[in-house]
Structure 1
Amino acid sequence: MNDHGSAADQQNSQSTPGSRLEATGLLAGLGAAIPIVAAPMAGGPSTPALVLAAAEAGGIGFLAGGYKKPDQLSDQISAVRAGISRFGVNLFGVNLFAPNPVAIDKDAFAEYAEALREFAATFDIDLREVEALEDDDDWADKVDLLTADPVPVVSFTFGLPPAGVVRRLRKAGSLVIQTVTNPDEAEQAVALGVDGLVVQSYKAGGHSGTLTPAVPVAQIPLDELLDRAQARVRVPLWAAGGVSTPGAVREALNHGAEAVAVGSVLLRSPESGASETYKSALADENRSETVLTTAFSGRPARALRNSFTDRFHSIAPAGYPAIHHLTSPLRKVAAAAGAAEAINIWAGTGYPDATDQPAGQILRHLAGAE
């Protein structure tokens, strides 16, 4: 399926139950020992400590560049570099949101703000006369940062970077990975010259990486999605979306993935930067349903059902980043107040397997190492 040796064949030979899975292809070339990736989770969960735990376990972790200012991202990169040398590898990545704005109608924005106003007022958030905020998440400055001070891997989600950006990053020495959610997106990404793809299923927690957020995310099982992608492109594939057990990891590898990226299963770990409100909600056995919603950000994202989704999911307009900026102050105050019914509890379908064990232990378990 790729030009890095017959990675799928190697992985299949390693998929004997009870044996540790060994990294191959791109990850092995970077110095990884296991084919497990700690996925980037923007908004706080992905910390330098989580990235370092992934490296210590023999995998690779990603810093989430989304929602951070360039200087904040630079500081986190420096923190990872300061700690990672003790593992004898330079093994980490950075994820950016590639611009793919979803325009919002001003009247629809105003109507949603009004619908939220009473709910937000209970947290002393005033949504009267608020205006839609549109930005590109400091895209150009972050790309400049990563070309001037290269990291081993750069990945993109939400949109496709220009081919020129891919060339700049590769020339600087970074591998470039693109998140895709269907075979058509895979072909578009490969045409840009990326080194590999994260193939993300609809079961993923948090935002879908879909390039067409106005179109319903196709509910294709991950193994079938991998099969379809392999039939269309010949680059390394990393599987993502709902993977939370060693068996699910092996299944993805058996369907041609070179590695598996996990996120929700790490959210309750000590190294996760998720709020205590968020972590407690994930552990709440009274919660049992996830929903793919635009209610929090204006882009489709999977979260645990709560009072916010019950009340606003059906009326939420599409519109990113305007809706994200509208609800962000409310969500931050609610998280600090312990009000789980008012926050975005991002969670993939495998979230019940999340534990409060150390991240490295979780990742090694997924690889069959313990």
Structure 2
Amino acid sequence: MAFDVEVPLIAAPMAGGPSTPELVAAVNGAGGLGFLAAGYRTVGATLEQIRRTRELTERPFGVNLFVPAPPSDPGPVAAYRERLQPEAERWGVELPTEIRADRDDWDAKLDALLREPVAYVSYTFGLPGRDEADALRAAGIRQLGTVTSPEEARDATALGLDSLVVQGPEAGGHRGTHRTEDVPGTLPLLQLLAAVREVTSLPLVAAGGLGDGTAIAAALRTGASAAQLGTAYLRTDESGATATHRRALVELPETTVTRAFTGRPARALRNAFIARHEAYAPAAYPEVHYLTQPLRAAAAQRNDPAGMHLWAGTAHALAREGGAAEVTRGLWGDALRAG
């Protein structure tokens, strides 16, 4: 798959607010490729963002979808709720007692994209069904599967996807494992790229901890067709990240992979919430996401980084301020010089 870009840098889809139409358009304007994040958005809100992005850029862009997971065992979720209850009482918030089954508007989003196709669709947390992938392909949409292992890469290749986003353990936010209960691998990105290349001939996008030109150049030398960056854009003018999150990227020194906030492994800046609850969080997504949502919202309202989910990759300290187009051009210039 040939990306319609002058600069092989992709703005990663960051669900929950950081990815915006303005960020996508700015990266596109610098010659790269921006992705919207449809995760946690209704189909109506997703279409609104797509239409707004089209107003801001004439260049191709992508949309990322969360593949729905089967329901989790309610027992461990209930036990985790009991553990969190004193904290909820302390901050005056109500934790949900029943968490509805949630497919993140999956079917409606696929239908909407068939009606109003975008250039690219990427998948996180698994793969679409064959009929679903075939339908999007027939609509002219190029499809990327997020993979964290050679085994997942084989499955995505067999499905006939156009490209693979190879996500290393250095990545911020959720690990894209295809099953909630899977323990994500620890093979560093460059080694993972080489391992995936052994099982597929599809174009590869490198993702995870790519915070400067040297890292980007190394990923491209290892065989990636493009580099995907998320944390690198969190402090840009067009990012939807909160002021607290932006400050924490430079103030908190360490990241860790945790299930404490959502029930899925995700790399975040280490804070007090993780220290208290990581050992007790079940592998249950999206149930834990909805369970902890009131606590996280209350922490955000207090501007309290100790209780927020502060997704960040291992290169978070390198994230630059300024316009996203300027950041894109700077990173690519540094990558060219690093060779």
Q: Shorter-chain TM-score: which interval?
A: over 0.9
Could you say which residue in structure 2 is the equivalent of 1:73?
A: 46
Q: CA deviation at 1:80?
A: 0.5
Q: CA deviation at 1:165?
A: 1.1
Contact in 2 for aligned 1:120/1:126 (Cα 8 Å)? yes
Among 2, 6, 9, which residue is 1:36 paired with? 9
SS of the residue 1:302 aligns to = strand
Matched, 1:283 2:250: yes
Matched, 1:207 2:174: yes
Among 246, 249, 271, which residue is 1:306 paired with? 271
- Percent of residue pairs identical: 44
SS of the residue 1:108 aligns to = helix
Matched, 1:170 2:143: no
Could you say which residue in structure 2 is the equivalent of 1:14?
A: none
Among 76, 88, 95, which residue is 1:108 paired with? 76
Matched, 1:93 2:62: yes
Q: 2:31 & 2:109 partners in 1: Cα distance?
A: 27
Q: 2:300 & 2:54 partners in 1: Cα distance?
A: 30
Among 201, 210, 220, which residue is 2:187 paired with? 220
Q: Gaps spanning 5+ residues in structure 1: where?
A: 1-24
Q: CA RMSD in A?
A: 1.3
Could you say which residue in structure 2 is the equivalent of 1:53?
A: 26
Q: CA deviation at 1:223?
A: 1.0
Among 320, 328, 331, which residue is 1:363 paired with? 328
- Is 254-263 or 131-140 further displaced after alignment? 131-140
Contact in 2 for aligned 1:106/1:132 (Cα 8 Å)? no
Contact in 2 for aligned 1:60/1:92 (Cα 8 Å)? yes
Q: CA deviation at 1:120?
A: 2.1
**What amino acid maps onto 2:66 in structure 1?**
F
Q: 1:183 & 1:322 partners in 2: Cα distance?
A: 28
**What amino acid maps onto 1:209 in structure 2?**
G
Aligned structure 1 segments of 4 or more residues deviating by more than 6 angstroms: none
Q: What CA deviation, in whole Å up to 9, does each residue of 1:212-265 have, x standing for no partner?
A: 332221111111111111111011100001111100000000000000000011
Q: CA deviation at 1:166?
A: 1.1
Contact in 2 for aligned 1:303/1:346 (Cα 8 Å)? yes
Q: Gaps spanning 5+ residues in structure 2: where?
A: none
Could you say which residue in structure 2 is the equivalent of 1:122?
A: 90
Q: 2:282 & 2:244 partners in 1: Cα distance?
A: 26
Among 297, 314, 318, which residue is 1:332 paired with? 297
Contact in 2 for aligned 1:278/1:335 (Cα 8 Å)? no
**What amino acid maps onto 1:76 in structure 2?**
Q
Q: What CA deviation, in whole Å up to 9, does each residue of 1:262-311 have, x standing for no partner?
A: 00111111111011121121121xx2111111100011100001110010
Could you say which residue in structure 2 is the equivalent of 1:143?
A: 110
Q: What CA deviation, in whole Å up to 9, does each residue of 1:35-62 have, x standing for no partner?
A: 0000000000000010011101100010
Contact in 2 for aligned 1:182/1:229 (Cα 8 Å)? yes
Normalised by the length of structure 2, the TM-score is 0.96
What is the total number of aligned residue pairs between the two structures? 335
Q: 2:283 & 2:205 partners in 1: Cα distance?
A: 28
Matched, 1:262 2:238: no
- Is 118-127 or 323-332 further displaced after alignment? 118-127
Q: CA deviation at 1:146?
A: 0.5
Contact in 1 for aligned 2:94/2:294 (Cα 8 Å)? no
Q: 1:162 & 1:200 partners in 2: Cα distance?
A: 21
Q: 1:224 & 1:137 partners in 2: Cα distance?
A: 33
**What amino acid maps onto 2:200 in structure 1?**
V
